[in-house]
Amino acid sequence: MPLTTYLAGHGPLDATLDDLGRALTWDAVYRARPRAALTCTDCGQSMHAKMSGRGGRFFAHHRRSPHCASGGETAEHRNLKRELARAAREAGHHAELEVTAGHRGWRADVLVTAPEGRRTALEAQISSASLDDVLERTRCYRDDGIDVVWFTPHAARWLTHVPSARLHRPATPQSPWQRTHETARQFSADPCECDPSPPWHGPVHAGWDRPTDMPLTDFVTALLHGRLIPLENTTALGLRYDGWATPEDIETASAYATPHAASAPLPTAPAHTRDPSLPWYQQWPPEDQRRLLEAAKAWVRQTTGKPAMARPRWTADWLAGGLALSRHVEGTWSITRAALIRPDPARIDWELLGDIPVIVGSQEEREALKATAGPWARIITLAGTSR
């Protein structure tokens, strides 16, 4: 059920504005007699004004419109659109709701126009959406010179593929959306105080901190004013987005990126053991494999309190040539994935892998994996297990 409609003789109305955007009161369309001549801005069917139990204003079709883009919207969706529009207006921008392109290639939940004319679409994606669908809709906006930022409460696969923000879901569908989930990141550089210092450490520990939450209004204001921009990471799998950061932090991080880190080569297995018919983890000498396997089992037991078992017969895309370890789930007969040993950096799909720990035997392997890893990745280096 949309937040906009068209009133004959006046033009488009916006239920999120006090005067409906046309110097009209709500009473002029809500339960008015004779009934106001309202029509849907998308499908053209007749509509009427409605109010939710908590006073939320919106419009509804007289009869269900199966082909209307806004026909099945929920209260959660409407509330998020309201919050996004309100935040954009408080940031000093012009915000229109439910705007359809003249060529009908896109329909923006909230289309924001900056004072200088730059346009940004804010998309409230409450229902599930495929990666291909989100990428295609993003492309349609960009083809028309419009930036787009996606908002969702889900841990969606596409979050790292497009500029986006995950949100904390409100307690009830009628409650306001208030906070982003692990959105903003900061870059820090501190002197190395490790004692003893490993040979691969430099004089400074530099890196991105864990993403933090933000009030939704503050985040929208920051992105519209350019105080936060998408943190891009070019990987072997293509462009990925790792949250949002200030332009200053991104510039500083770029200065700390060494040529070696920017072009870290994928590790190659020893030439005398390389056999394309074998999984990647078996490309190392048997003694090296044994040491790393035992160390990995010990690590799983230490961190989970459960013994681990190697699963060389498991076959799945997430393995990427690595060796899976499993463990029992507390209080059940079920087993779960405990870790993945030495996957192929050229094949690993971090989104498919999720937060399963990845165990390697050298810093060289770790650096190669980090080149494509998302911010959630857990890479464990068990030093001294490779020679």
Residue 142 is predicted with a pLDDT of 95
Say whether both 197 and 312 belong to one domain.
no
Contact 198, 184 (CB under 8 A): no
User: In angstroms, what CA-CA distances link 118 with 95, 222, 307?
Assistant: 12, 15, 57
Three-class DSSP category at 84: helix
What secondary structure does DSSP assign to 31-44, as a single string? S-SSPP-EE-TTT-
- The domain total for the chain is 3
Average pLDDT score over residue span 35-63: 87
Average pLDDT score over residue span 133-161: 96
């989930």: which residue's tokens? 181
Say whether both 89 and 183 belong to one domain.
yes
Would residue 262 count as lying in a domain? no
Nearest partner of 363 among 200, 202, 208, 236, judged by Cα:
200
Q: Quote the domain boundaries for residue 11.
A: 4-61
| Beta-sheet strands, E only, within the chain | 4-7, 11-14, 38-39, 46-51, 57-61, 94-100, 107-113, 119-124, 147-152, 164-166, 187-191, 204-208, 229-235, 238-245, 309-311, 323-328, 335-341, 358-360, 379-381
Say whether both 12 and 101 belong to one domain.
no
Residue 384 is predicted with a pLDDT of 56
**pLDDT tens per residue, range 327-361:** 888 767 778 899 999 999 888 988 888 889 999 99
Say whether both 95 and 30 belong to one domain.
no
Average pLDDT score over residue span 287-302: 90
Structure token pair of residue 249? 């932090």
Would residue 68 count as lying in a domain? no
Say whether both 305 and 250 belong to one domain.
no
Say whether both 50 and 79 belong to one domain.
no
Three-class DSSP category at 88: helix
Q: How many CB atoms lie within 10 A of CB 13?
A: 25
Say whether both 318 and 242 belong to one domain.
no
Instruction: Please determine, for residue 112, whether its predicted confidence score (pLDDT) is greater than 90.
Output: yes
Say whether both 124 and 249 belong to one domain.
yes
Would residue 194 count as lying in a domain? yes
- Select the more confidently predicted residue: 269 or 127: 127
Mean pLDDT of the chain: 86
**pLDDT tens per residue, range 9-44:** 888 998 989 889 888 999 999 988 888 989 988 888
Residue 123, C-beta contacts closer than 8 angstroms, at least 6 positions apart: 108, 109, 110, 137, 148, 149, 150, 151
pLDDT confidence bin for 380, thresholds 50/70/90: very high
Q: Are strands 187-191 and 164-166 parallel, antiparallel or unpaired?
A: unpaired
Residue 275, C-beta contacts closer than 8 angstroms, at least 6 positions apart: 282, 283
Contacts for 167-175: CB closer than 8 Å, 24+ residues apart: 167/80, 167/216, 168/213, 170/76, 170/79, 173/74, 173/75, 173/76, 173/79, 174/52, 174/53, 174/54, 174/56, 174/75, 174/79, 175/79
Would residue 69 count as lying in a domain? no
Residue 272 is predicted with a pLDDT of 44
**pLDDT tens per residue, range 231-285:** 998 776 778 899 999 999 998 888 776 443 444 444 445 444 556 678 888 888 8
Say whether both 46 and 145 belong to one domain.
no
Say whether both 234 and 129 belong to one domain.
yes
Quote the CA–CA distance of 99 and 106 in Å, as a whole number: 8
Q: Would you mind telling me the total number of residues written for the chain in this entry?
A: 387
Structure token pair of residue 197? 């210092």
Residue 305 is predicted with a pLDDT of 86
User: In angstroms, what CA-CA distances link 78 with 46, 123, 238?
Assistant: 20, 12, 34
Say whether both 253 and 166 belong to one domain.
yes
Residue 335 is predicted with a pLDDT of 84
The model's pTM is 0.63
Of 226, 257, 288, the last residue of a domain is 257
- Select the more confidently predicted residue: 68 or 171: 171
């659109």: which residue's tokens? 81
**pLDDT tens per residue, range 182-209:** 999 999 887 777 666 555 556 677 888 8
Quote the CA–CA distance of 381 and 377 in Å, as a whole number: 13
Residue 260 is predicted with a pLDDT of 39
Nearest partner of 247 among 232, 233, 229, judged by Cα:
229
Say whether both 162 and 277 belong to one domain.
no
Of 257, 291, 306, the last residue of a domain is 257
Structure token pair of residue 267? 């590790």
Contact 304, 282 (CB under 8 A): no
Instruction: Please determine, for residue 132, whether its predicted confidence score (pLDDT) is greater than 80.
Output: yes
Of 235, 257, 279, the last residue of a domain is 257
